[in-house]
Amino acid sequence: MRRVTAFFKNNYYLLTSLLIFLSFPSYDLWIFKGFPFFAWTSLVPVFAYVRGKRLRDAYLASFIAGLAGSLLAYDWIGHFGQKLPGGHIFVMTILSLCLAVFFAVKISVAELLSSRFESLRVLIFPCVWILVDWIESIGFLAFPWPYWGYSQYPFTAFIQLASVIGILGINFVMVLFNYLLAELIRAWPRRGMRTRQLFALKEVRLFAALLSFLGVVVLSGSLALAVHGGRVGKDMRVAIVQSCISPWEDWEANKFGYLAELKKLTEEALKQNPDFILWSESATLATISYDYDRGMLDDFDKEVLDFARAAGKPLLTGEIGIVDEAEGMFVRRYPQNNAVLINRSGEAVRSYPKIHLVPFGEWFPYEKWLPAIKRLTMEFGASSFMPGEVPVIFDLDARRFGVLICYEGIFHRLCREYRNRGADFLVNITNDGWTHTYKGHMQHFAASVFRAVENGIWYLRAGNTGYTACIDPYGRIRESIPILTKGFLTGDVDFSLNHRTAYSSTGDLVLYAAAAFIIILAGIYLADKMRGRSGPLRDR
């Protein structure tokens, strides 16, 4: 027992791993519903542990904490590899190692700079953190998933702040809180210290100031929700179908049965006279728009288009797009992950090819150099899509909207671009059925709430197995369907709730300021290293 106690005393940073698991949606049980609160303390153990440690030790401790935390919180992603023996373990090993590297880089780089600029460490940690968060969101292998701010999606009053500073700003505030709390615990006064002496501590004053700021944020957010609450009017009624098609069965062999189920559920929804119908990603894995443009419709295409015409309602659904590219004397066809809009006359009027494809799952840009990895991902059940290039704005009567396919909903800059191109609402079609977990569905959904708040517009989400919902411009879930449940919802959209936000107008100002701050400090640090200086740089 003493050895166990000694181990945890010397390695208390491992508490961060458990707290990471508790900080995000995990299981649909009441004992795990407190996750938004755990996120405010989850980084305290590792922040406290690395303070003053050598770079190697800080990196190792944070890497271990990040690795264990990722395995606990994101184990559901391993289901992607379940088609092959050992696939779950393989996928989770690779993913967790990558996430742990980013986690360790954030903390070790921040501690390295803080050791030189001691008086600025309280700002260095959150600035480095969101700068690396941004790096995780760019490039071919972008995966901006583990954002601390997403844990707060149920805390609607607080996340109104995202309308001003965006998700990266929320991340900044939460990391700052964690770091200040770690500093406060480290500097906690000895027994007998008087109140005046207590408030003379810098850590106490800073923490009190942050608490006051958060109090103002929650109060103003609550006021905004109260002023813009109540029942919504009906500018548009949407019907969203959740059909629960299995992602592991042969779609081609079962497509007419799947379509019959979609039509049956939609016909029930039509009794409530919707203006717009949404089906999910993977609902109709046919080349509808390609076939329509070339006048080569097959029986499945015709049945989908005929259904929309008979219903007299516009329909948005997932499909497979095709791009023809000439290669010498031949034409090669490249598939795309598309959404297609079918008007009330049964015409495929516009499609959008997904821009941000899931790395390894939907494409592998390095297949020429690593063909063995490409073959392995295909055996797992991965696709080989060509990415789209630009966002597409769809017209729906007098309204305009942008489409996000699957995990594109976690790319906040793409959603802001849609807003600035004139979108009145956003539609996210997704298929999370392969995760078959509460964790997977709800962790993915959390970002949706922020996209609505950041841009001040409605966000309509159609999931094959969930989480299907209508989210208003203030992040409130107006209608929803439980995950892994067949059904439909109809929701009224009131565009009078739409509003222009500071974030949609100005973007990630917090990120830009953080990047400039860290670049300046890093430049000074490197210049001093080149001159052979050592030791802390204080108040230069």
- For residue 471, what are the β-bridge partners? 459, 477
Written as six digits, the tokens of 53 are: 């440690």
- For residue 319, what are the β-bridge partners? 338
Task: Look up tokens 């904490």; give the residue.
Answer: 65
Report d(CA 443, CA 441) in Å as an integer.
6
Q: What is the reported pLDDT for 540?
A: 39
Percent of the chain with pLDDT over 90: 72
Pairing of strands 348-353, 393-396: unpaired
Report d(CA 384, CA 520) in Å as an integer.
42
For residue 289, is pLDDT > 90? yes
For residue 168, is pLDDT > 60? yes
pLDDT digits (tens, 9 = 90+) for 250-272: 889 999 999 999 999 999 999 99
Q: What is the reported pLDDT for 198?
A: 64
Q: What is the reported pLDDT for 530?
A: 86
The mean pLDDT value for 291-295 works out to 94
Phi-psi region of 488 (alpha: psi -120 to 50; beta: other; left: phi over 0): beta
For residue 2, is pLDDT > 90? no
Handedness of CA 504, 240, 444, 391 (dihedral sign): negative
Q: What is the reported pLDDT for 537?
A: 43
pLDDT digits (tens, 9 = 90+) for 184-220: 988 776 655 665 666 667 888 899 999 999 999 999 9
pLDDT digits (tens, 9 = 90+) for 47-80: 999 999 999 999 999 999 999 999 999 998 888 7
Decide: 174 and 129 in contact? Cβ < 8 Å. Answer: no
Q: What is the reported pLDDT for 192?
A: 55
The mean pLDDT value for 447-473 works out to 97
Q: Which range has the worst mean pLDDT, 253-257, 325-329, 352-356, 429-433?
A: 325-329
- List Cβ neighbours of 213 (8 Å cut-off, separation of 6 or more): none
Total residues belonging to the chain: 540
Q: What is the reported pLDDT for 7?
A: 75
Q: Which range has the worst mean pLDDT, 1-15, 86-100, 399-413?
A: 1-15
Per-residue confidence at 522, pLDDT binned at 50, 70, 90?
A: very high
- DSSP class of residue 359 equals B
Hey, what's the torsion of the CAs at 504, 505, 507, 509, to 10 degrees? Answer: -140
The mean pLDDT value for 310-331 works out to 90
Buried b (16+ CB within 10 A) or exposed e, 355-392: bbbbbbbbbbeeeeeeeeebebbeebbbbebbbbeebb
Per-residue confidence at 107, pLDDT binned at 50, 70, 90?
A: very high
Q: For the chain, how long is the longest CA-to-CA vector?
A: 87
- For residue 428, what are the β-bridge partners? 404, 461
Report d(CA 426, CA 402) in Å as an integer.
5
Q: Which range has the worst mean pLDDT, 86-95, 445-454, 510-519?
A: 86-95
Average pLDDT, the chain: 91
Decide: 406 and 447 in contact? Cβ < 8 Å. Answer: no
Q: What is the reported pLDDT for 200?
A: 66
Q: Averaging pLDDT over each range in 229-238, 248-257, 300-309, which range is the top one?
A: 300-309
Report d(CA 123, CA 113) in Å as an integer.
11
Phi-psi region of 360 (alpha: psi -120 to 50; beta: other; left: phi over 0): left
The mean pLDDT value for 273-290 works out to 96
Q: Which range has the worst mean pLDDT, 186-200, 242-256, 299-313, 439-453?
A: 186-200
- For residue 393, what are the β-bridge partners? 402
Stated pTM of the model: 0.92
Give the helix/strand (H/E) hosting 172: helix 162-186
Report the interhelical angle of 509-530 vs 87-116 (nearest 10°).
Answer: 70
- DSSP class of residue 140 equals T
Q: What is the reported pLDDT for 142?
A: 85
Q: What is the reported pLDDT for 14?
A: 94
The mean pLDDT value for 240-256 works out to 91
Per-residue confidence at 538, pLDDT binned at 50, 70, 90?
A: very low
For residue 534, is pLDDT > 60? no
The mean pLDDT value for 369-385 works out to 73
Q: What is the reported pLDDT for 126?
A: 98
* 20: amino acid identity, one letter: I
The mean pLDDT value for 281-290 works out to 95
